[in-house]
Amino acid sequence: MLAIIGGTGLTQLTNLEISHRQVMRTPYGEPSGAITFGRLRQHEVMFIARHGYGHTIPPHEVNYRANLWALKEQGAQRIISVAAVGGIRADLLPGVIVLPDQIIDYTYGREFTYFDGRDCSVTHIDFTQPYSQELRQQILDAGRCADIPCLDGGVYAATQGPRLDTAAEINRLERDGADMVGMTGMPEAGLAKELGLNYAAIAVVVNHAAGRGSSRNGVHLETISAVAQPAMARVRSILECVVDSDVD
């Protein structure tokens, strides 16, 4: 089954016909909230709001391990993660939807692995391609089918937050090769890979990164939701085309 993890601006899927909600406990603690089950265009999907349904859990406090474990336990094989980002690359303007294909992880102090050596021998995973190529392609095709432009590829820098970045930090991220910056891409993608889930992210640019464009003198936090809202409506349409293209 397909699971969707909603981020800032996507705490629910409006067109989801909800069948039930399931509160879960996992060996890693509690997920961000109950898992919502329902039908999106006649296809079974599950949904969880990463920051909680009331948007109360900051990026560094999200229990990423519990969220992914719970989704897998409930039968998810594929995960589409939706996340708000700041745009660093010149074409990643506010409102743009982009499918990252690489990650650089700058987070710290988060529970980032299931393989912590306590119950198992040392385990490594290959993370050369952090996102499922197949699922990315399906989302790109869905974007085309919905006539919604989705940029293909970009390097996602995962920062610790919850504060936004300094202009110098953004310059450094750019020198490192990052195209966009967000706070939730890791450890989520790594944990999904550890669990063998097919995982891809839809990133929605909600602001110019610090020091760039309209954020040259500061990020206007008050405009973020005005940008996110219509963009998330487009993400919902893409998700509907994704499930429509599923052969289930």
**161: exposed, middle or buried (C-beta count within 10 Å: 0-12, 13-18, 19+)?**
middle
To the question of whether residue 60 is assigned a binding role by annotation, the answer is no
Lookup: tokens for 131: 């996102």
Of residues 100 and 240, the one with the C-beta less far from ligand HPA: 100
To the question of whether residue 171 is assigned a binding role by annotation, the answer is no
Residue 198: CB partners within 8 Å, gap ≥ 6?
77, 78, 79, 132, 134, 135
The 10 Å CB-count burial string (b at 16+, else e) for 79-88 is: bbbbbbbbbb
Side-chain half-sphere of 118: how many Cα atoms within 13 Å?
5
To the question of whether residue 208 is assigned a binding role by annotation, the answer is yes
Of residues 76 and 206, the one with the C-beta less far from ligand HPA: 206
Residue 24: CB partners within 8 Å, gap ≥ 6?
30, 31, 34, 35, 66, 70, 73, 74
Cα 188 from chain centre? 8
To the question of whether residue 20 is assigned a binding role by annotation, the answer is no
Angle, CA 102 vertex, CA 90 and CA 8 arms, to 5°: 70
To the question of whether residue 189 is assigned a binding role by annotation, the answer is no
Of residues 61 and 134, the one with the C-beta less far from ligand HPA: 61
Q: How far is the CB of 238 from ligand HPA (least distance, A)?
A: 19
Q: How far is the CB of 88 from ligand HPA (least distance, A)?
A: 9
Of residues 7 and 31, the one with the C-beta less far from ligand HPA: 7
Binding site for ligand HPA (CB under 6 A): 84-86, 159, 164-165, 181-183, 206-207, 209, 219
Phi, psi of 81, deg, nearest 5: -100, 130
Of residues 83 and 192, the one with the C-beta less far from ligand HPA: 83
Cβ atoms of 112 and 187 closer than 8 Å? yes
To the question of whether residue 207 is assigned a binding role by annotation, the answer is yes
Binding-site residue numbers for substrate are: 183, 207-209
Binding-site sequence positions: 8, 50-51, 183-184, 207-209
Annotated binding residues for phosphate, as ranges?
Answer: 8, 50-51, 184
